[in-house]
Amino acid sequence: MSGPGFLDEDVPMALLRQRAFNLRWATLPPGVIALTAADPDFAAAPPIRDALAEYARSGVYPYGPPEGLPSFREACARFQRERRGVPAEAAQILAVDSAAAGMLHVARTLLQPGDEAIIFDPVDFLFAASVEAAGATVVRLPVDPRTGTFDPDRLAALVTPRTRLLCLCNPHNPLGRVWRREELEAFADVAVRHGLPVLNDEIWSDIVYEPARFVSLASLGPAVARLTWTVSGFSKSHGLAGLRVGFVHAPDAAGLERLAERSLCRTTMTGASTLSQVAAMAAMEHCADHLAAFVAHLRRMRDLAVEQLSQVPGVSLRAPEGTFVLFPDVSALGVPAEVLVERLLTQYRVAVVPGAPRWFGPGAAGHLRLVFSTSEGILREGLARLAAGLTAPR
């Protein structure tokens, strides 16, 4: 049984219907269950709400330092050292107005038009979007959705004289993989051999299910740490997507300088809101118990969803080791994912994301992606509708 905070009555549905955009409740007709974008359905933890309320009540909201509040940068560096086993100093941290913005700033710092960047296929669309926004070309490294693995020799073979960046998503959205140490070592080996920097997205690193263990790329040793640009945020583990806050951990202070310049934060044209940094500090420093309870709830929802979906004829899936997304293969149904998604939405009133190239790359074909970061009651109803829609005669 899930504890308080994650029950049906803890889902603030009226507010979600007003406030949850980005493919979610506020964008869908009433009565549709939103299992779309990866955003929890629960309110943020009490220490975050208290910290926000106290800062908001003070009424004093001046400009903060462009790179982020010193206390925020310290908190992020401590988080990296103590929770991720990665050497870090505050001078290497840039506060950003979302992990998405962090990815963009890193890509724009490291890439020029004509360069190539290697990303997984499938993977969250933000990787391709960041690389392309920097004017560079995306090169895709297949991850086999059935086994969830990539071939390090294939990665090495994709490196050309124009390659300037490797991208890692750990844990991986949408496959839910938590890369094992040996896999990361193989990845790091290619980066180090070719002297290639890595855009390392760890936004999902708090959402990991035992026996899987999260290993941070930069913890593997100084050679790879010197190449690693880690991006993280608070949208998944703490439900702060609307506060638009995250951080980048640059390999060194000189890298941070380049990143800060390129991000334009010193012009005041970009940067993270001080209020959001206050919330993120509370998340890092005072929410360990809440997060553990959330992950325990998610684990139950994962097991429930995997068990139910595996019974649907024509659907196959792997249980994610981390994240709160599922990526079922529905290709055996013989209906394009986009058509299925439309049918599920209009006839069965459940919304999921199609495994379309624009969201995850060509390697996502024949899949759906759905989230289970909701209450048991909502998830059961959503899964029942999904099963009905996927088994209906065509």
List residues near ligand PLP by CB under 6 A: 38, 98-100, 124, 126, 169, 173, 201, 203, 233, 235, 241, 246
In the complex with ligand PLP, the residue whose CB is nearer, 274 or 323, is 323
- Nearest-approach distance from CB 387 to ligand PLP, in angstroms: 25
- Nearest-approach distance from CB 353 to ligand PLP, in angstroms: 10
In the complex with ligand PLP, the residue whose CB is nearer, 60 or 269, is 269
In the complex with ligand PLP, the residue whose CB is nearer, 171 or 251, is 171
Q: Smallest Cα–Cα separation from 227: which of 203, 202, 198?
A: 198
**Backbone angle region of 154, left / alpha / beta, with phi > 0 → left and psi within -120 to 50 → alpha:** alpha
In the complex with ligand PLP, the residue whose CB is nearer, 241 or 364, is 241
- Nearest-approach distance from CB 187 to ligand PLP, in angstroms: 16
Q: Which two tokens stand for residue 351?
A: 């919304």
- Nearest-approach distance from CB 38 to ligand PLP, in angstroms: 4
- Nearest-approach distance from CB 336 to ligand PLP, in angstroms: 23
Q: Which two tokens stand for residue 287?
A: 């929410």
Q: Which H or E run includes 235?
A: none
Q: Are 178 and 171 in contact (CB under 8 A)?
A: yes
In the complex with ligand PLP, the residue whose CB is nearer, 202 or 329, is 202
- Nearest-approach distance from CB 35 to ligand PLP, in angstroms: 14
- Nearest-approach distance from CB 238 to ligand PLP, in angstroms: 10
In the complex with ligand PLP, the residue whose CB is nearer, 242 or 336, is 242
Q: Are 80 and 248 in contact (CB under 8 A)?
A: no
Angle (CA) 211-215-216 rounded to 5° is 155
CA 244 to chain centre: 13
- Nearest-approach distance from CB 22 to ligand PLP, in angstroms: 9
Q: Smallest Cα–Cα separation from 79: which of 324, 321, 288?
A: 288
In the complex with ligand PLP, the residue whose CB is nearer, 100 or 301, is 100
CA distance 20 to 42: 11
Q: Smallest Cα–Cα separation from 322: which of 125, 151, 121, 173?
A: 173
In the complex with ligand PLP, the residue whose CB is nearer, 116 or 124, is 124
CA distance 79 to 10: 29
Q: What is the DSSP letter of 45?
A: P
- Nearest-approach distance from CB 197 to ligand PLP, in angstroms: 17
Strand pairing class (246-249; 350-351): unpaired
Q: Are 159 and 191 in contact (CB under 8 A)?
A: no
CA distance 319 to 340: 22
For residues 276, 279, 281 and 286, what is the CA-based torsion angle, rounded to 10 degrees?
Answer: -170
In the complex with ligand PLP, the residue whose CB is nearer, 11 or 126, is 126
Strands (DSSP E) contained in 227-320 are 228-233, 246-249
